[in-house]
């Protein structure tokens, strides 16, 4: 089905920049970048999928069944996203909050052109209908000039929920926790801007440069744009092994190395952050146990602090061996939405989240990634991300955090501001 050619390049990082700029000519783009982060345990340093041959785009109704049929029928590489609101397909839930972005709930495509970067090697995997373009494309990319910066006004995003109202909603969330309805829930708020004209590509480059996260993504599907600096993996399947790496626990960075180390150490020893993380680890263990071989679910790493450019994060790693005859899409359906963006118990938390939040989450706190022809997959968690509909000129980003019995509303608000910092900075410096 695909023709493969491998080329060696002398300056892989320069080739990567040229490749991304070259990709802007296509209507459909999926760009996934690990930013050379070895801890990401990815199969490739960077991947570009471009120019759809086939695609699936749908709302949440029977979405996972439709994706399963598409994935199995195509039996090829497919790239795309799962929105948070696919929860309504998995459980008897609803999404009735305001939706300014109007993204489809699920969107995947089969690329005509697929390019992987692995160290100094670049692999071209083209459908046979376009494989005569491989050689020309390689030389064109090598000589491609970086895209010229796009000048436009800075974007000021406003909070959908005023601070006082946000603090009050955290109080209501705590009431549910103290009453025993839930143990933990991830509460999010949206920042938005209307009637704005931006260049998503250059915003992605800027955001990625100041964040360099291990699960960065740039997605352009028609007029739907994702600019993601995600540090979190949702779920990966390689052969029979599943890996999920939930994040719970965030702390600021400091320019002072001594203070920065102390902040990371304090995060590692913070009982509130540890309890948040352990609750979510228990939730994802339970999710995976429904599709795993008995006794195969293991916590390989618990509450380890990793350092990124913008923040320190507490991350755990859970693995499992998938049971025989479980289709790849079923592994996603069973564990979706990811525990780190919902809460415990999961269904109760999602109902309360829907009641207290003001905006439909959509792609935010969903997942972006790919399936291979063999049925392997890798998906991130869509956080630290800007979403933009270039048709209705609506821009949005959301931030949130886990609320537990030990949460204080003011500190939760400060954590939201910390998580929003990089996105606000990029939009303000256009």
Asked about 357 being catalytic, the answer comes back as no
Q: Which has the closest alpha carbon to 115: 207, 15, 222, 1?
A: 15
Sign of the Cα torsion 416, 419, 421, 426 reads negative
CB atoms within 10 A of CB 68: 17
268 phi/psi in degrees, rounded to 5: -60, -30
The span from the CA of 193 to the CA of 100, in Å, is: 10
Q: Are 404 and 253 spatial neighbours (Cβ–Cβ below 8 Å)? A: no
Q: Which has the closest alpha carbon to 114: 76, 73, 68, 67?
A: 76
- The 3-state DSSP composition of the chain as helix, strand, coil percent (nearest 5) reads 35, 35, 30
Sign of the Cα torsion 232, 32, 43, 142 reads negative
422 phi/psi in degrees, rounded to 5: -65, -40
Listing DSSP states for 20-55 in one string gives HHHHTTSSEEEEEE-TT-GGG--S-SEEEEEEEEEE
Among 190, 232, 276, 412, the active-site one is 232
262, two tokens = 């102390």
The span from the CA of 430 to the CA of 416, in Å, is: 22
Among 87, 113, 248, 419, the active-site one is 248
The maximal CA–CA distance of the chain, rounded, in angstroms, is 65
Element (H, E) at 402: strand 394-403
The span from the CA of 91 to the CA of 43, in Å, is: 32
Q: Could you tell me the CA-to-CA distances from 213 to 196, 310, 387 in Å, in that order? A: 26, 9, 17
CB atoms within 10 A of CB 377: 22
Burial class (CB in 10 A: 0-12, 13-18, 19+), 283: buried
Q: Are 228 and 381 spatial neighbours (Cβ–Cβ below 8 Å)? A: no
Asked about 238 being catalytic, the answer comes back as no
Element (H, E) at 304: strand 298-307
The span from the CA of 382 to the CA of 384, in Å, is: 7
Q: Which has the closest alpha carbon to 287: 248, 252, 242?
A: 242
Point out the residues that are catalytic.
Answer: 232, 248
């Amino acid at each position: 089905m695909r023709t493969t050619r491998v080329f060696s390049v002398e300056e892989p990082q320069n080739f990567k920049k040229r490749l991304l700029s070259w990709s802007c000519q296509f209507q459909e783009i999926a760009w996934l970048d690990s930013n050379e982060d070895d801890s990401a345990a990815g199969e490739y340093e960077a991947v570009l999928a471009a120019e759809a041959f086939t695609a699936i785009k749908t709302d949440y109704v029977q979405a996972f069944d439709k994706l399963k049929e598409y994935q199995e029928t195509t039996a090829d590489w497919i790239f795309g996203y799962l929105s948070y609101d696919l929860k309504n397909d998995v459980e008897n839930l609803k999404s009735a909050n305001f939706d300014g972005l109007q993204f489809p709930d699920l969107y995947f495509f089969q690329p005509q052109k697929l390019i992987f970067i692995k160290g100094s090697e670049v692999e071209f995997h083209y459908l046979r209908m376009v494989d005569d373009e491989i050689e020309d494309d390689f030389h064109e990319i090598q000589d491609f000039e970086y895209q010229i910066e796009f000048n436009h006004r800075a974007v000021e995003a406003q909070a959908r929920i005023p601070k006082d109202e946000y603090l009050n909603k955290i109080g209501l969330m705590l009431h549910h926790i103290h009453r025993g309805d839930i143990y933990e829930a991830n509460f999010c708020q949206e920042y938005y801007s209307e009637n704005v004209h931006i260049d998503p590509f250059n915003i992605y480059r800027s955001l990625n440069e100041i964040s360099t996260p291990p699960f960065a993504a740039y997605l352009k599907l028609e007029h739907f744009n994702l600019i993601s600096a995600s540090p979190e993996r949702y779920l990966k399947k390689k052969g029979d092994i599943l890996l999920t790496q939930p994040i719970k626990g965030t702390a600021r960075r400091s320019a002072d190395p001594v203070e920065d180390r102390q902040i990371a150490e304090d995060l590692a020893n913070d009982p509130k952050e540890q309890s948040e993380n352990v609750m979510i680890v228990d939730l994802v263990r339970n999710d995976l146990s429904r599709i795993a071989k008995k006794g195969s679910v293991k916590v390989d790493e618990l509450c380890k602090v990793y350092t990124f450019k913008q923040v320190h994060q507490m991350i755990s790693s859970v693995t499992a061996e998938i049971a025989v005859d479980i289709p790849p899409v079923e592994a996603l359906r069973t564990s979706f939405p990811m525990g780190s963006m919902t809460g415990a118990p999961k269904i109760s938390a999602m109902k309360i989240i829907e009641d207290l939040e003001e905006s439909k989450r959509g792609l935010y706190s969903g997942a972006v990634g790919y399936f291979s022809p063999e049925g392997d997959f890798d998906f991130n968690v869509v956080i630290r991300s800007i979403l933009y509909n270039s048709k209705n000129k609506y821009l949005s980003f959301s931030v949130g955090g886990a609320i537990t019995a030990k949460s204080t509303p003011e500190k939760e608000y400060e954590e939201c501001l910390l998580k929003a910092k990089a996105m606000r900075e990029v939009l303000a410096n256009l």
